[in-house]
Every structure is written in structure tokens, then in C-alpha cells.
């Protein structure tokens, strides 16, 4: 998990922005429980609870790790849908499909997330429930900052603020512009001189919860008034930006020692799997499918907000895992082909021309 080996601007294990990657291993644990249809028992339940504790910790540190729960829940729903399609009886019964799928890991994850939210609401200081303070990063504030790839979605003040190296200032300009336009607060040309209603007498800064609620209105208004630009933003601009950031990480790497170790690791895994089993590589295709699904959903935080070196650790590490898996599949194909040509291993008698 030490992404700093690529470039110095990427957070590593000790960094708060990197801690969401702690959720990756628990996610795979719950996925394998679902895919391999493990029944709930004392042993599996205890192990799942330990992984759940790590997952909740990662989400507490960085809320973007919630995408892992969404992925496991999505896999469960896909399996239920496929089981429903395969039913021979008519009419198809949805509850029959539900009972045929191992869904308890997803239910446990959702229950753990709900229990954590209830607990946090009980133990947080009352100040966190005012307009002045939030216990987390602004969700809608981040979404509005993601408009930077379509500057015309911003107000004139917001576009002018794009030259400010402090990226968050764009959100404050947008909030003040909106509040002035709806005649809630008087106009202000500079967030540093924001009206009293926008600043907190307790913290001396902006009212962060109030600000994020305003950002929600700014975001939804942009979606309603500029649907084509929003579509281009999420279907074209942000995928290109994510690709550009990942490419920049790889291009700025000082050496390619990591790539050699990745190939060695993937090749070793592939050879071990095929030589230690009489099954072909087709047995492992669900892992590849899940990996591709994880890679797609790992970019959700960057789609919602914006991709950058400090925000893309989940996606980048998932991509590396997929690269290892791709090398492993190539090694499986090569080893399986060699074994088939030499008629060795457990398939020799079955494949030998003398037995045909």
C-alpha cells in the first residue's frame, strides 16, 4: 500500500488520504464470502466481524472508502438478478432468487455502517450538529469543485477564482454568488470578507455545514439547467482526467522496478495456480470479473469530486492488482498450453492418444 514509491506527491500508509485503502482487503473478504457462498457460522461470522471493524475504521478516516460497500451490495444484487433470470418456473419468484444467493455478508456490512452512524451520532459533540462545524469533508462542496473540467458551469466569480491556487476557494465563491442571487445574503466579492451570516462566531471561519447545504443547491441547479454539460462532464471530461492522472503517475515514476516485481508476482501466482491444480484458467474467471468491477467502482470518489495524486490511491492500487491478475492469467494460459502439449500432470491419461 506504499504508493509513494511512484511519486512523492502520492500519500502513503501514514497519510490520512491513503487510509481509505485499508478497506480493500475487507472488501475482497466479503466478496469471496458472497461468491463462494459461505454459510454463516461462528468462524465465518467472527472473521467477518474483524474485517468489518477494519472497514468501518477506513470509512471513519476517509468517507470515500464507502464505495467498497456499494460494490459488495451491487454484486449481491447482480447475483440475485442472474438467479432470477435462470429460474425455469413461471412466474419467476424474486424471494426464491434471494434465498439462492449468499447475501448475509452485504447485510452485515450495511448493518455495521448503520451501527457506526448511530454510534457517531450519539458520541459526537453537539457542535457537530450546528451549521458551524461538520465531522467530515463536504460532500457537495467536493462535487462542485469537480466542475473545474467544465468551467462554464461556474459563475463568473467562480471562473475567476480558478486562478487561485487554493482550490477550495472556488466553492466559497460559488456559495456567495448563489446566496446573493437568491437574496439571502448581500453580495461579496471576496470570501475573506464574507457576510456575517456566512461566517461562524465560534470558529472564526465559514459555517461549513451551512456551506455544504448551499453547495447541494448549487450542484442540483447546475444539473437541472445544464444537463448536456453535466453529461459531458461525467461521461467524457472526468474519465479523461482520471486516465490523465494515472498516466502522469506512471510517467513520473523514477524507475520501473515496480513493474518487474509486478510481472514476477503475477507470473508466480499464475504458475502456482495452474501447476497445483488440474483445472484450467477458466476456473478463475470470476476473480477477473470481480476485479474489473472493483476497478470501475473504485473511481466513484474521483467521478464525484475530482482525480488528483492525493485522491486516487484506491483506484491506483486496484489497477495494480488487476495488472498482477492479468499477468497471472497470461501465465496460466502459457502453463496450461505447455502442460497440454507435454501430456503431463493429472490430465496425462485422459489426454494421451493411447487412451482415446
Q: 3-state SS of 100-153?
A: CCCCHHHHHHHHHHHHHHHHHHHHCCHHHHCCCCCCCCCHHHHHHHHHHHCHHH
Radius of gyration from C-alpha coordinates of the chain: 25
- 3-class SS of residue 199: strand
Residue the block writes with cell 485503502: 21
Q: Which three cell numbers stand for residue 135?
A: 465531522
Q: Could you give the CA distance from residue 96 to residue 92 in angstroms, rounded to a whole number?
A: 8
pLDDT of the residue at 355: 47
Low-confidence ranges of the chain (pLDDT < 50): 351-356
Transcribe 174-215 into DSSP letters.
HHHHHHHHTTSS---S-GGG--GGGB-TTTSSB-HHHHHHHH
Contact indicator for 69, 148 with CB cutoff of 8 Å: no
pLDDT of residue 299: 93
pLDDT of 351: 45
Please, how many CA atoms are within 13 Å of residue 332, restricted to the half-sphere of its CB? 22
Nearest residue to 212 via CA among 154, 138, 133: 138
Q: What is the pLDDT at residue 270? A: 83
Cis peptide before 140 (omega within 30 of 0): no
Q: What is the pLDDT of residue 277?
A: 63
Looking at residue 211, its pLDDT comes to 94
Domain residue extents for the chain? 1-123, 130-225, 251-356
DSSP-derived secondary structure letter, 38: P
What pLDDT does 136 receive? Answer: 83
**Which set of grid coordinates corresponds to residue 288?**
477477473
Contact present, 153 and 222 (Cβ < 8 Å): yes
Amino acid at each position: 500500500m506504499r504508493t509513494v514509491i511512484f511519486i512523492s506527491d502520492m500519500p502513503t500508509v501514514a497519510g490520512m488520504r491513503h487510509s481509505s485503502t485499508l478497506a480493500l482487503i475487507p472488501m475482497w473478504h466479503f466478496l469471496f464470502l458472497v461468491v463462494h457462498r459461505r454459510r454463516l457460522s461462528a468462524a465465518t461470522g467472527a472473521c467477518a466481524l474483524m474485517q468489518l471493524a477494519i472497514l468501518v475504521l477506513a470509512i471513519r478516516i476517509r468517507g470515500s472508502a464507502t464505495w467498497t460497500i456499494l460494490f459488495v451490495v451491487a454484486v449481491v444484487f447482480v447475483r440475485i438478478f442472474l438467479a432470477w433470470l435462470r429460474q425455469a418456473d413461471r412466474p419467476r419468484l424474486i424471494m426464491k432468487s434471494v434465498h439462492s444467493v449468499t447475501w448475509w455478508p452485504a447485510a452485515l456490512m450495511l448493518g455495521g455502517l448503520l451501527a457506526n452512524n448511530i454510534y457517531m451520532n450519539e458520541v459526537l459533540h453537539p457542535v457537530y450538529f450546528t451549521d458551524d462545524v461538520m465531522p467530515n469533508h463536504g460532500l457537495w462542496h467536493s462535487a462542485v469543485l469537480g466542475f473545474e473540467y467544465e468551467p462554464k458551469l461556474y459563475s463568473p466569480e467562480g471562473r475567476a477564482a480558478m486562478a487561485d491556487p487554493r482550490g477550495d476557494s472556488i466553492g466559497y465563491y460559488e456559495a456567495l454568488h448563489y446566496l446573493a442571487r437568491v437574496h439571502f445574503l448581500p453580495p461579496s466579492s471576496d470570501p475573506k470578507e464574507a457576510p456575517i451570516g456566512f461566517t461562524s462566531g465560534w470558529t472564526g471561519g465559514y459555517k461549513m455545514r451551512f456551506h455544504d447545504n448551499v453547495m447541494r443547491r448549487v450542484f442540483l441547479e447546475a444539473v437541472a439547467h445544464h444537463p448536456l454539460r453535466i453529461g459531458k462532464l461525467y461521461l467524457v471530461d472526468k474519465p479523461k482526467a482520471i486516465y490523465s492522472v494515472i498516466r502522469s503517475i506512471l510517467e513520473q515514476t523514477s524507475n520501473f522496478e515496480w513493474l518487474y516485481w509486478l510481472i514476477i508476482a503475477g507470473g508466480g501466482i499464475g504458475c502456482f495456480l495452474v501447476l497445483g491444480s488440474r483445472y484450467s484458467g477458466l476456473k478463475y474467471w470470476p476473480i477477473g470479473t470481480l476485479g474489473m468491477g472493483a476497478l470501475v467502482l473504485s473511481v466513484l470518489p474521483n467521478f464525484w469530486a475530482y482525480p488528483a495524486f492525493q485522491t486516487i490511491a484506491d483506484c491506483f492500487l486496484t489497477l495494480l492488482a488487476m495488472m498482477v491478475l492479468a499477468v497471472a492469467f497470461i501465465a496460466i494460459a502459457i502453463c496450461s498450453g505447455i502442460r497440454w502439449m507435454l501430456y503431463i500432470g493429472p490430465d496425462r491419461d485422459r489426454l494421451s492418444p493411447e487412451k482415446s
